[in-house]
Structure formats: structure tokens, C-alpha cells
Chains A and B, each alone.
Chain A
Amino acid sequence: MFAYVARRVVYAIPIILSVALVCFLLVHITPGDPLVAVLPADASQELAQQLRVAYGFDKPLPVQFGLWIWRALHGDLGASIATGRPVLSEVMNAVRNTVMLAVFAAAIGFTLGLFFGLIAGYFRDTWVDKVATSIAIAGVSVPHYWLGMVLVIIFSVQLNWLPAVGAGPGGSGAWAWDWEHMKYLILPAVTTSVIPMGIVTRTVRALTGDILSQDFVEALRAKGLQEFKVFTHVIKNAAPTALAVMGLQLGYMLGGSILIETVFSWPGSGLLLNSAIFQRDLPLLQGTILVLALFFVFLNLLVDIAQAFIDPRIKRA
């Protein structure tokens, strides 16, 4: 097991480096000047050059990349061009908010997804299956920013039950796990949860159906095992794949959704990315993407290891 974990960790290193290189290059090859955010259009060339040197944009790309990686390894992702604040603290604040949103949305999405998936699989080809599958397809298909706006129109603008935007009466800095704050989380979390809900439903439905049709289930039933206990075997067999799917979905959610976080002005990594893109704040954009990519790789690693624990066959593979 230790060898397996070590191997997976070593495999993650080139992935992280590749991600870092790609995100570094992507933001550099796009047209436009990174100093647009801080330089008025009529800024002198002398001033532009002075700032270019100050931010290190005058150096060749490989040198910029090397310096960036070196500093990143020391916990320094530079300073935001637009605000001058350290990128790492900006990103970590935003990630904290996105994690909060993702975990809440995952709880909703996975619970509903598991529920719908299991009953759809168990009652395959019945009306129960059709209803659950329809909900799953709608969840995957509906544009979630559109759903967010619809929810805002209904629950905020028309009914005035829930706030439309923000992260609590005092902002996320004054967050508390009480109703006054939780109500700000409900609409963005529900909107975020529909895609994982749909995907988990469809995955679990397919797995449940397959497992129920296998011989060992017949054997368990033939032994006179109660249906409930048979079903726990089904769940155990479905768990590794379902877990992998959920892990991936959690990874996507931890990446933050630019659209959902912008619609709800939720101060997470998606909104931060949006802001960095529009302000063309390269250090912030690179730092945010790097941290999110690390999260994604780390989560995948965790999922792989968890799968190996649950299903010993994976370790040998």
C-alpha cells in the first residue's frame, strides 16, 4: 500500500509542473498588455517600462517562469498587479469561500444523487426510474448560471425569502454557521449542486442496475438474505466508482464556478478568476489557477488512495 501511495505521489509531481507551465504560458500568449489594469492609456513609455521592470515582465519568459516557480515553492506567488496584495492570501481567502460553497453543494448534490441513483437503479424501467432519470438529465443539461438567475428571481426578487448576492451580512470575513449567514449559501449551493447531482444519479443508477443483475446478488437472495442486506452489498460494490465520480465532481466544484460565483457575487475562487481575467492581473490569474490545479491533483490523489483502500484490487493494478 505504501509503495502504491508513494508511486501516486511521485506521478503527481510532473502533472503539477505541467499544469504550472501551461497556465503560465496560456496567460502570456494571450494578446494585450498585463499592465493595462494599472496604466492609464496615456501613460508614458518611460512609466510603462518602469512598471514592466518592477513587475519583472521585461525578463525572457523562461526566466519569468523559473522565478515564478522558485518563489511559488517558497510560498510566494507574488503580488496582485491591481491591488498590490499578496496573491497567496487573496487566493487562500477565495479558496476558503469556494470550499465552503463546494462542500455544502456536494452534500446536497451527492445526497440527492445517491438517493435518486439508487432508487432509479433499484426500480429500473419503472416510473420511479423515469422520474429520477429525468431529474438527473435536467440537472446535467440546464445551464447553471441560468438556473441561478431563475432561483434569484423566484426566491429573492419575488418571494424575498433568501438574499440574492453576497456572503453574509458582514461579508465572508464575519462568517458564522448560523441562519443569518447560511441563508446566503443556499441559492449558490443549490445551483452548484445540480450538475454533480445529475452525474452521480446517472452513475449510481447504472452501477446499481449492473450489480443487481450479477450472479452473486442472485446467490445472496437464494441464501435467503434480507433485501436490505442484499442492497448493502450492492452499495459496497458501487462505492469505489461512485466515490471516484464524486471526487472528480468535488474537484470541479473546488475549482469554483466563474458563472455561479459571479451571478451570486460569492467571493470564491471563481469570482477571483473572473476579476483577474477582466483586470488582466497576471500574477493573480497564474496564482489562482496554480492553487486550484494543485487542489484538483491533490483531490484526485486522495480519491485514488481511498479507492485503493476500499477495493484492494486497485493496488495491484
Chain B
Amino acid sequence: MLTVATALTLPQFAQAQTIKIGMTAADIPRTLGQPDQGFEGNRFTGNTMYEGLTLWDLSSATKPSVVIPGLATEWAVNDSDKTKWTFKLRPGVKFHDGSDFNADAVVWNVEKVLKQDAPHFDASQVGVTASRMPTLVSARKIDDMTVELTTKEPDSFLPINLTNLFMASPAKWQSFYDKAQGADAKAKAAAAWDAFSKDASGTGPWKMAKFTPRERLELVKNTAYWNKDRVPKVDGMVLLPMPEANARTAALLSGQIDWAEAPAPDAVKEITARGFKIEKNEQPHVWPWQFSRIEGSPWNDLRVRKAANLCIDREGLRDGLLAGLMVPATGTFEPGHPWHGNPTFKIKYDLKEAQKLMAEAGYGPNKKLKVKTQTSASGSGQMQPLPMNEYMQQALAECYFDVQLDVIEWNTLFTNWRRGAKDPTANNSNATNVTFAAMDPFFALVRFLQSGMAPPVSNNWGFINNPKFDELVKKARTTFDAAERDKALAELHAASVDDAAFLYVAHDVGPRALSPKIKNFVQPKSWFVDFSTMTMTP
């Protein structure tokens, strides 16, 4: 490893094809198996060095990303007890340290975040893991290549959620634990995890070569990766945290990096004029206003909710303010996605229809409807919240809305999201503008639409209480045939659009600027990308 690390610092390594990436993160996402920094963490230190039992298919730029077998080759729910799942593991897989991946490793990795009395339990990994698989309770070895996972209630979403549980090497961790100094077992375990984070071992297509916290992570290709088609084509990858968009753009234009995540929008013209390529694609991400549905909320009138959705010229927003860096939203999922369904309410720009609906609801040019929305000046996934909300404010004024914006700090907005519209921190707002990932059904739909997810349980900020939604959530969760489950989710989504549950505005497109030297890159409809396919010309 030292040889590789040394090679990375030498100029000749550049000839050995290394892609240098400027990330938006302020720090290298955690490297010990469960990354932080949201899905940017999964993108760079999760799906590269590690893998889950299930993976996202990132091979297509046109089809939605779906879940495919990863470290498990197949899985099935128990017919008589729908809380039990059997996963068959992929044979012949080895961790980067050479140890075997098997059922013991799966049990160990489930216990690292769920079993508090396990020697390797790590509280610091729980926060970023447990909520992404909220129903998983335990794992049991059946034989070396078979495990049984148990959920606390029937949950057909489990295989999707498991893309977030990354398998770290128990053997490597144990070797650190055996060497660790500490007053007690807990302190030794913490020291072992700290050591593991600096010399990580997963099963993924990339291996850690050198790690300088907060500055850089150097990865090299795993030539022994189990899927020969996904053995990386380039030799190495260097990840550099650069939280400032102009810094990333300058580093790209000066040739210091080959890849800039989310370049400064006003530099897009110069970037492309210099031969760099901007890659973008619709992401499973929603930029919405989430309505309050508590008593007295102006959004309790369906006509008003529909009018707002018809009043926004999303194409204008895309082509003007955002320089093409968004996709107009017609729901949480767009047509072509397996969970889109067939909503009867078509979200589009129709000013006349919007005005008509508002008139029917009793509003007009001389009687405007006052609404208040909380938003932030910045934040993860928030795109350009202030100018976008001012655009909304102007657009909605055409439909007799009088919009007041309550701009607060991002983390505070995020905290308030969980507290709900009834909490004093909502400051009497009728809507909140927090963007969200729509990768899995729980994150995309259930936590917002199911009545039981109202605060303080989860993110049903506006206290939506629609029996039809609850019924459809239950149906989707308890349908274990993948195709049938997708149908149930499509039904739920269509119902939410027909009810204009949100003011759907935009999807992010995950823009990134790439050097012309990088070839064979595929930008899927996902938060994630597959770095294995890329080649680099000298």
C-alpha cells in the first residue's frame, strides 16, 4: 500500500491515469463504511470502496436507476412470516485485505449499527444508517453463504434500503482491535474504528491508497474485483473536498482537477467554451413547497393547491434563472419512472386555469391569498433557494397569491422540518421549502404522506392525514412481488399528485464539469455514478 501511496504523489502517476475530482463536500465523507455528507458521501466513499447486499444499476443514462443484486445474488421474503428475508450471498468475493466475504460478515455489519452490546457497535455510524433502513432489526447466519434478515414489520422496501448498508471487513477491524490501546473494550473499539477509517477495507471496485483527513482521499483500482466488467479502467482517483463553487471551477479551468462537481452556474459558458463537458441528468430529487394541512391553512383547499401548481412557468425557471440546470417537476417522479403511475392532474404551466381555480376558491386581483413559506439562503440540495423562491413569489402573484418568505439558516430550517407546521419554530408558515432525495419509497413518499409519519415521528411536516394515502402506503409496504410493489407505489404517487400534495417545482440535475480527457462516462438518473467505466486519454 505504501508503494501505491508513494506512486500517487509522484508526477509519473499522472501518466498512470488518475482522475482528480473536486467534491462539494467540505470534508472527505467518512471512510469507515457508513459515510456521512448525505448521498455525496455514498457516491464517493460508499459505492466506491464498499458495497451493499443490493446495488443501484448505474449503467444507463436514459432508464431510471433500479436495484440490482450486489453482494447478494438473490433474495426472497418468507412466505409464512413476511418479516423474515433470506439472502443468498455471492460466492468468491473477498475484502480488500484478502479476507472472505460471507454470512458472518453480513451479520457483523448489521450488528455494527443495530446491536448495542456488540463489541464493534459504533454509535457514530448509527445516525447515518439506521434511519435508512428503519425496519431492520437483526441478521442471522443460516450457512456460510446464506443470511436471514428480520424486520420489525412486513416491509417490501428492505432490499432497496439495503443499498445503504455498506459491508466493511470484520477481519481488518479485528486486527485493529487486537492492536488497539484503550481503557476498556469500548475505547479499544473506538480506536479500532478510527484506525479502520484510515486504512479501510471493503469489497468495492476501488481500494483506499492514501487518506489525509479533510484534504484528500486517494483510491486505486481493485484489480481483484468480483465483477470483471466493473474493474476500473483508470488506475486511480483522487477526491478533493472543495466546498466553494468558484474554487472548484478555478481548479478545473487551471487543470488542477479533471472533474468539478456542481460548477458555478455563471461559469458554465466559459467552462464549455474551453472544451470541458457539462454532464447532467434528472436526479431522484425534488425541490418543492411542502404544504401545511393543519386547521386554518390556506392550502387545505384542493383548488388552491392545484392553482399554485399550475401557476409556475418551470421551463422559464429552467431556461432563465438556472441556465438549464434543472428538470421541471410534474410530481415526485417523472414519466418513465416505475413509480410515476398515471396521475389525472397534469402539472404544467396554465395561468388561465390557475386563475380560474383561484377565482372559484374566492380569490382575485383585489382579494389576494396570503401564504408564508419558510426557506433557507443555502443548503444541501436547495439549489438556488433565494432567487428561485423570489421567482415563485412573482409567478404566484399572477394567480392572486401574496407570498411572504421567511428565510432562516439551513440547519435551522432542517431542524424545523422535523418539528412540523404546528411548532412555534414554523413561525406561522403555511409551507416549507426543503428539498429531498427520492431514491427509495420511504424517503420519497411514505415519510411525507402517511399520517403516522407526522411530527415528531418523521417528515410529514404539514400533518397530511389522508386515509387513501395510508391505505396505499400499507399496500406498497406489504406487497412483496417487485413488479406489484412498483404498481402500488405508482398508485400512491399518482394519488399524491392528484391531491396536489406538494407544490412540485424542480428536480436537480447533478451538474458536473468534466475534462475532455475523460471518456466513457455515463451520467445515470441517480445521485450516484459508476466510476468504473471511465477511461482517460493522456
Write the residues of chain A forming the contact surface with B, with a CB cutoff of 8 angstroms: 31-33, 35-45, 47, 50-51, 54, 82-85, 90, 93-94, 149, 152-153, 156-157, 160, 163-167, 169-174, 262-265, 267, 271-272, 274-275, 278-280
Least CB distance from B277 to A in Å reads: 18
Given contacts A85-B194, A164-B256, contact A174 B9 (CB under 8 A): yes
Q: A37 to B243, Cβ gap below 8 A?
A: no
8 Å CB contacts to A: which residues of B201-253? Answer: 210, 212-216, 240-244, 246-247, 250-251, 253
Residues on the B chain within 8 Å of A265, using CB: 240-244, 247, 251
Q: B126 to A47, Cβ gap below 8 A?
A: yes
Chain B: CB-nearest residue to A31:
B412
Question: Considering the chains assembled together, what is the distance between the CA atoms of A267 and B241 in angstroms?
Answer: 10
Least CB distance from B187 to A in Å reads: 12
Residues on the B chain within 8 Å of A38, using CB: 36, 124, 127-128
Chain A: CB-nearest residue to B443:
A42
Choose the segment among B74-82, B171-179, B413-421 that binds chain A (4+ C-beta atoms closer than 8 Å): B413-421
Chain A: CB-nearest residue to B458:
A42
Q: Which of A93, A165, A171, A174 contacts B250 (CB 8 A)?
A: A165
Residues on the A chain within 8 Å of B456, using CB: 45
Question: Considering the chains assembled together, what is the distance between the CA atoms of A263 and B415 in angstroms?
Answer: 28
Report the contact-size class of chain B (Cβ under 8 Å from the partner).
Answer: 35 or more
Q: Knowing that A37-B36, A42-B453, A51-B127 are A-B contacts, what are 10 other residue pairs whose CB atoms are under 8 Å apart, sorted by A's residue number?
A: A36-B411, A38-B36, A41-B418, A44-B134, A83-B36, A90-B214, A149-B246, A164-B254, A172-B215, A278-B26
Q: B123 to A50, Cβ gap below 8 A?
A: yes
Least CB distance from B162 to A in Å reads: 16
Question: Considering the chains assembled together, what is the distance between the CA atoms of A235 and B244 in angstroms?
Answer: 43
User: Is B108 in the interface zone, CB < 8 Å from A?
Assistant: no
Q: A44 to B131, Cβ gap below 8 A?
A: yes
Q: A83 to B30, Cβ gap below 8 A?
A: yes
Question: Considering the chains assembled together, what is the distance between the CA atoms of A149 and B254 in angstroms?
Answer: 13
Question: Considering the chains assembled together, what is the distance between the CA atoms of A32 and B411 in angstroms?
Answer: 6
Residues on the A chain within 8 Å of B411, using CB: 32-33, 36, 280
Most buried by B among A50, A54, A83, A280: A83
Residues on the B chain within 8 Å of A165, using CB: 22, 240, 242, 247, 250-251, 256
Q: A41 to B215, Cβ gap below 8 A?
A: no
Least CB distance from B432 to A in Å reads: 11
Given contacts A40-B127, A42-B443, A90-B213, contact A31 B30 (CB under 8 A): no
User: Is B463 in the interface zone, CB < 8 Å from A?
Assistant: no
Q: A167 to B215, Cβ gap below 8 A?
A: yes
Least CB distance from B244 to A in Å reads: 5
8 Å CB contacts to A: which residues of B115-130? Answer: 123-124, 126-128, 130
Residues on the A chain within 8 Å of B11, using CB: 169
Question: Considering the chains assembled together, what is the distance between the CA atoms of A41 and B419 in angstroms?
Answer: 10
Most buried by B among A42, A54, A82, A164: A42
Chain B: CB-nearest residue to A163:
B256
User: Is B409 in the interface zone, CB < 8 Å from A?
Assistant: yes
Residues on the A chain within 8 Å of B527, using CB: none
Chain B: CB-nearest residue to A86:
B194
User: Is B447 in the interface zone, CB < 8 Å from A?
Assistant: yes
Given contacts A32-B415, A149-B246, contact A171 B124 (CB under 8 A): no
Q: A44 to B457, Cβ gap below 8 A?
A: yes
User: Is B255 in the interface zone, CB < 8 Å from A?
Assistant: yes
Question: Considering the chains assembled together, what is the distance between the CA atoms of A275 and B28 in angstroms?
Answer: 11
Residues on the B chain within 8 Å of A44, using CB: 130-131, 134, 457
Question: Considering the chains assembled together, what is the distance between the CA atoms of A173 and B436 in angstroms?
Answer: 36
Question: Considering the chains assembled together, what is the distance between the CA atoms of A90 and B22 in angstroms?
Answer: 21
User: Is B477 in the interface zone, CB < 8 Å from A?
Assistant: no
Residues on the B chain within 8 Å of A262, using CB: 243-244, 247
Q: A157 to B128, Cβ gap below 8 A?
A: no
Q: Which of B190, B254, B436, B457 contacts A163 (CB 8 A)?
A: B254
Q: List 10 A-B contacts (CB under 8 A).
A: A31-B409, A32-B411, A36-B414, A40-B132, A44-B134, A45-B457, A51-B127, A163-B254, A171-B216, A172-B215
User: Is B193 in the interface zone, CB < 8 Å from A?
Assistant: yes
B181-196: CB near A (< 8 Å → 1, else 0) gives: 0000000001001100
Question: Considering the chains assembled together, what is the distance between the CA atoms of A173 and B213 in angstroms?
Answer: 9
Chain B: CB-nearest residue to A169:
B9
Residues on the B chain within 8 Å of A169, using CB: 9, 11
Residues on the B chain within 8 Å of A31, using CB: 408-409, 412, 415, 425
Q: B253 to A157, Cβ gap below 8 A?
A: yes
Least CB distance from A210 to B in Å reads: 43
User: Is B48 in the interface zone, CB < 8 Å from A?
Assistant: no
Residues on the A chain within 8 Å of B415, using CB: 31-33, 36
